Amino acid sequence: MRTHIFPLLTIFLLSLSSSSSSSSNLIKDTCKKCSDTDPNIRYNFCTSSFNSSPDSNQTTDLRQLGLVSIRLTKNNVTSTRHFIKHLLRDDKNKKMNNNNNTITNTTTKLDPYVKACLNDCMELYSDAVSTIKLAVKDYKAKRYDDANIGLSSVIDASTTCEDGFKENDNSKNKSKNHVVSPLTKRNDNAFQLTAISLSIINMLRN
């Protein structure tokens, strides 16, 4: 019985290695095409995003990889929504008193304009979560046009959210302080992840 174990184990390991290599090449080739056709997509961001998902190692074709990309976008959008919710709720920070090493609660108020922007972003990302769930269903059913429309609205949500913070600099009713968006990186990630999904859909349709 034991004489059969090692050959089978070797075959299994070779199969895993071959599958992993195939998935890696698929990711690299796809990200190269995405970054070549869309200047908003960075190749390194694309490959690192796919490599962060265990599902990517199981992909054997472009369609499967496209589903992984949409799920990555969904995770990002959901996470960003929770982050915004946390920012709006977190009006108290615990600070250590250096004199007696005690922890005290101090209220920190958000800039009114920032709070208004965050509320707008909360609404945008809440809608995006629902939209992307439908996009997943459309994609699985090969309704690529419908999936494209839904994902395009997610890109709009990320850009509209970020632009809201910038509008303060051009507004007549400016806040006292320069407004800095706390969501810049998250909005950029959402934009790129969605752009990757859209790029893959375009490849599948051609």
List pLDDT tens digits, range 10-37: 444 444 444 456 889 999 999 999 999 9
Q: How many domains does the chain have?
A: 1
The structure's pTM equals 0.80
In a domain, 136, yes or no: yes
CATH of residue 130's domain is: 1.20.140.40
d(CA 79, CA 113): 23
Residue range of the domain that includes 190: 63-97+107-170+177-205
pLDDT band at 169 (very low <50, low <70, confident <90, very high): low
In a domain, 12, yes or no: no
List pLDDT tens digits, range 56-79: 988 999 999 999 999 999 999 999
Which range in 7-16, 72-81, 108-117 is most confidently predicted, on average pLDDT? 72-81
Q: Are strands 92-96 and 103-107 parallel, antiparallel or unpaired?
A: antiparallel
In a domain, 24, yes or no: no
In a domain, 45, yes or no: no
Alpha-carbon distance values, 78 to 25, 36, 70, 119, 129 (Å): 29, 28, 12, 15, 6
Q: Residue 92's pLDDT is what?
A: 44
List pLDDT tens digits, range 184-197: 999 999 999 999 99
In a domain, 142, yes or no: yes
List pLDDT tens digits, range 123-147: 999 999 999 999 999 999 999 999 9
First to last CA, the chain: 52
pLDDT higher than threshold 60 for residue 91? no
